[in-house]
Amino acid sequence: MMLRISSYNINGIRAAHRKGVMDWISETDPDIICFQELKANIDQVPDELKALDYHEVYHIAEKKGYSGVAVYSKIQPEITNIGMGVEWIDNEGRVVMAEFDKFRLFSVYVPSGSSSELRQDMKMKFLDDFTRFGKQFIGDDKPTVFCGDFNICHTEIDIHNPAQQQNTSGFLPEEREWFTDFLDLGYNDVFRELHPGEKDLYSWWSYRAASKQRNKGWRIDYHLATPALAEKAKAAVIEKDWDMSDHVPVTIDYDI
């Protein structure tokens, strides 16, 4: 059975609804959507989205209009869970899980560290906790995939003009080292494995200086899967033509 899974930092579900997210869902037709950065309470999600033929699970931030993740699935999950068991992270609504018969899936929104040194320190603390969280699914009988916005470009081909970005949050050496170490636990960067060595493939662009039109972007949105699931990936695309957010969907077809 082919299963299409999309990961999408929507940068405000209400704004994305106004900008055409229903058209994207109709055209792409994902079986599962992992949304990040909802910026809304559940009762603020547009009714048109709630009326879709998807099962929904949300993890909403305590702070109004901030963060938030969700999973929309045509298949009803057997188990759902929110959070990582770390209070400040869970208060920010950053991790939600849906478990199915043959695999489990997470929608993940890693903090940005670009606003201050404090937020960068908190980002690194999140990554440390996320490593511990991710370890528990290695070697598990059930394949696992983390889909989401990790706010890190892993390698130089994942960011435009890497030479000038070495001191920028999202491309710091310690962040990139964390990413390598996380993959070494036993996870695969599924999109990159299907597009090895290909350059200029980005999933986020600043709203400034016509960055998207000039393709001055970053690849910070990922599917990170255990090998048993990663090897089932057959096609992967970054859906650059859509303009509902500063991110675009990363969509992968798996032969489950």
DSSP state of 62: S
Spatial contact of 72 and 33, defined as CB atoms under 8 Å apart:
yes
Catalytic residue among 90, 128, 149, 189: 149
Burial class (CB in 10 A: 0-12, 13-18, 19+), 73: buried
| 253 labelled catalytic | no
Order of all β-strands in the sheet with 32-36: 55-59, 69-73, 32-36, 2-9, 250-255, 233-238
3-state secondary structure of 187: coil
Strand residues in the chain grouped as ranges (E): 2-9, 32-36, 55-59, 69-73, 79-82, 95-99, 104-109, 144-149, 188-189, 204-205, 217-218, 221-225, 233-238, 250-255
Which residues are part of the catalytic machinery? 149
